[in-house]
Amino acid sequence: MSKERKGWTSTAVVDSNPYSRLMALKRMGIVKDYEKIREKTVAVVGIGGVGSVVAEMLTRCAVGKLILFDYDKVELANMNRLFYQPHQSGLSKVEAARDTLIHINPDVIIETHNYNITTMENFNNFVDRIRHGSLTGGKVDLVLSCVDNFEARMTVNTACNEENQVWMESGCVPPLVVASNIDEKTLKREGVCAASLPTTMAVVAGFLVQNTLKYLLNFGEVSMYVGYNALQDFFPRQEMKPNDQCDDRFCRQRQKEYKAKKAAEAKVEVAVETKEEEIVHEDNEWGIELVDESKVEESKTTVGNGLEYAYELPKENEVEIENDRNGKHRLDEL
């Protein structure tokens, strides 16, 4: 099933333009060139509670191409996940997602893969699609991990580190299984996922897509980690500390490359700051100066020609002498 693609026909902010609200971001100065989203390819791994909503949001945001990976089928128990519909029960999740997404925005190219990426054969295919899946036949622009088990997360991690591919992770429950060294295959998963509330899925998906847009369109600050505690309603945010003892040699290599990149960026920033400090405001008869409001500096003691202070602040030694005199007068009075 397919629909006719309308294409990106206008950047005008008018009611008849389906991308009107997106173009408003450009007019407001938030995004410099939103049209570049049409050139981007995003791979979404796991089209469940979070992944399906992420795919829908990116489709509405007019990303150029989506590559969907999942091997599960839609069940009636999935109906609380905001996306699937009862009549899609029994379909593969990627097939059901594609059928829905092409009706939402036929301009987006949807590529689907119905297999388990953790097997050796499928892993090689998965890596190949990361390497050659973009609109131009090159690497995809971003991989989003929306899986619900540690084995699949590590598979995405391994593939992306090997290919030097940027990816973002998401999830709805703490990694208690990993911390406890429990074999997750021995756990009964039926009915225990308290994070399956549609509200939780929507919040996590929103965070992930927001970070995705900031990364793809180069605006705002891309967060290293953003969390959400649904029971107590707070949003922790922190930097991620790399594990320099990681067993994955590709991971250690990427860490070295990242540190070298940060060191080079720091040198550039220092050079730019030094250059800016050398800029001096032109002298003028009124004594007007440019002031950096980000720093607190002492007041200048000079004034322009023809002007003078109504009074001057006493020097520190003069204040001490005056205090000593006042103290002696008080003693004489006593």
Q: Where are the domains of the chain?
A: 20-240
Closest CA to 94 of 116, 111, 117, 77: 111
Structure tokens that stand for 172 in this block: 């709805």
pLDDT at 254: 87
pLDDT at 173: 62
Instruction: Let me know if 193 is a catalytic residue.
Output: yes
Q: In which residue are the tokens 């602040």 written? A: 313
Q: Exposure string (b/e) for 168-183, b if CB count within 10 Å is 16 or more?
A: bbbbbeeeeeeeeeee
pLDDT at 3: 55
Find all residues with CB under 8 Å of 48, minimum gap 6, and list them.
Answer: 70, 72, 78, 81, 93, 146, 147, 148
Find all residues with CB under 8 Å of 135, minimum gap 6, and list them.
Answer: 39, 41, 64, 65, 109
CA dihedral sign, ordered 290, 294, 296, 297: negative
**Fold topology of 20-240:** Rossmann fold (3.40.50)
pLDDT at 39: 95
Contact 274, 263 (CB under 8 A): no
Candidates 160, 172, 193, 251; catalytic one = 193
Find all residues with CB under 8 Å of 211, minimum gap 6, and list them.
Answer: 168, 222, 223, 226
pLDDT along the chain (334 residues), means of 10: 54 72 79 90 95 96 96 87 86 96 95 96 96 96 93 94 93 54 54 61 92 94 84 79 83 86 80 57 59 49 48 53 55 51
pLDDT at 7: 56
d(C-alpha 293, C-alpha 183), whole Å: 56
